[in-house]
C-alpha cells in the first residue's frame, strides 16, 4: 500500500537516483528536479512512482520556483524534500585557496551552496503551507575532516561546510512550523562524481586506509539508508549524520 509521503529530490544520478529507486520500492511518489534529461527519463523507466522530472538548472532562481510549482501540481502536498544535487568545482579551477580565481570560487559556491539555498527556500515555503515535513540537505565529510593530499578543494569544502551550518540554523528557525531539517555528510561514495578517485591508484589505496569499514568507496545504498532514516524519524532535527566508512576517525592525510 502506498504511503502518503510526497517527496521532491534534486539530482538524477548517483545518490539521488539511488534514493528515488529506494522510495519507489516503498511505493512513495517522487518528483526529480535538476540533473540531465536523459538520466531522468531512464530513471522513470524503472521507478514507476517517479511521477515526473524537470531537468532545470538549480542555479536559476526562477526555474527552481517554477520547478517546485510543477512538483506540487503532480505530487499534491509535498511532505519531504531532499537536496542532493551539487558537484566538484575542479573543472572551474577549485583547488588550494591561494590558487583559486574569484570566478572558480563563485562558480563552486553557486553549484553547491546557492543551489541548496534556492532548493531549501522553496522547500520551506511548500512545507510551511502543507503543515510541516522534512528537509534533508547534503554536506560532505570534507567540511569537517579535510584531506589536503588528495582532496584539496577549498571552495567545495567551504560550500559543504556552509550547508552544514545552514542545516542547524534552519532546524532551529522552523521547528515551530513542524519542519525538521537535517543533513547527510558522506565520505567518498561510488558515484559518477567520484570516478576520478576510483581510477587513481594512489587514491584507491588512500581510500582503503581512510574508509576501513568499506575498504573502498562507499556503496550508494549505505548513504541512501541514511537519507531514509532522517526522513522517517520524526524526533530528529538539526543533525548532520556522517556516513564515511570511518574516514573522520582516521588521522593523517
Select which of 53, 68, 151, 156 is catalytic.
Answer: 156
Rounded to whole angstroms, the maximal C-alpha distance in the chain is 55
Using the structure block, give the residue that is written with the C-alpha cell 560550500: 159
Q: Where are the alpha helices (DSSP H) in the chain?
A: 14-25, 37-46, 61-75, 102-109, 115-129, 154-174, 195-198, 201-210, 220-232
Distance separating alpha carbons of residues 127 and 134, to the nearest angstrom: 8
Q: Who's near 108: CB < 8 A, 6+ residues apart? A: 89, 92, 94, 153, 155, 156, 159
The whole-angstrom separation of Cα 28 and Cα 134 is 15
Is 156 noted as a catalytic residue in this protein?
A: yes
Residues known to be catalytic: 156
Amino acid at each position: 500500500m502506498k504511503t502518503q509521503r510526497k517527496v521532491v529530490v534534486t539530482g538524477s544520478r548517483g545518490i539521488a537516483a539511488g534514493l528515488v529507486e529506494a522510495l519507489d520500492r516503498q511505493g512513495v511518489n517522487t518528483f526529480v528536479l535538476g540533473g540531465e534529461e536523459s538520466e531522468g527519463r531512464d530513471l522513470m523507466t524503472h521507478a514507476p512512482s517517479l511521477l515526473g522530472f524537470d531537468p532545470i538548472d538549480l542555479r536559476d532562481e526562477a526555474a527552481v520556483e517554477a520547478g517546485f510549482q510543477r512538483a506540487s501540481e503532480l505530487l499534491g502536498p509535498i511532505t519531504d524534500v531532499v537536496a542532493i544535487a551539487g558537484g566538484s568545482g575542479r573543472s572551474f579551477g577549485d583547488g588550494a585557496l591561494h590558487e583559486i580565481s574569484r570566478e572558480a570560487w563563485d562558480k563552486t559556491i553557486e553549484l553547491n551552496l546557492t543551489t541548496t539555498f534556492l532548493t531549501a527556500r522553496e522547500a520551506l515555503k511548500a512545507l510551511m503551507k502543507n503543515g510541516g515535513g522534512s528537509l534533508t540537505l547534503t554536506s560532505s565529510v570534507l567540511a569537517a575532516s579535510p584531506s589536503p593530499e588528495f582532496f584539496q578543494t577549498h571552495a567545495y569544502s567551504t560550500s559543504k561546510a556552509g550547508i552544514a551550518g545552514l542545516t542547524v540554523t534552519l532546524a532551529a528557525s522552523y521547528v515551530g512550523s513542524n519542519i525538521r531539517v537535517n543533513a547527510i555528510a558522506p565520505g567518498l561514495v561510488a558515484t559518477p562524481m567520484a570516478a576520478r578517485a576510483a581510477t587513481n591508484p594512489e587514491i584507491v589505496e588512500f581510500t582503503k586506509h581512510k574508509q576501513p569499514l568499506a575498504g573502498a568507496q562507499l556503496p550508494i545504498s549505505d548513504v541512501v539508508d541514511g537519507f531514509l532514516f532522517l526522513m522517517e524519524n520524526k524526533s530528529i532535527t538539526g543533525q548532520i549524520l556522517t556516513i564515511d566508512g570511518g574516514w573522520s576517525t582516521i588521522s593523517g592525510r
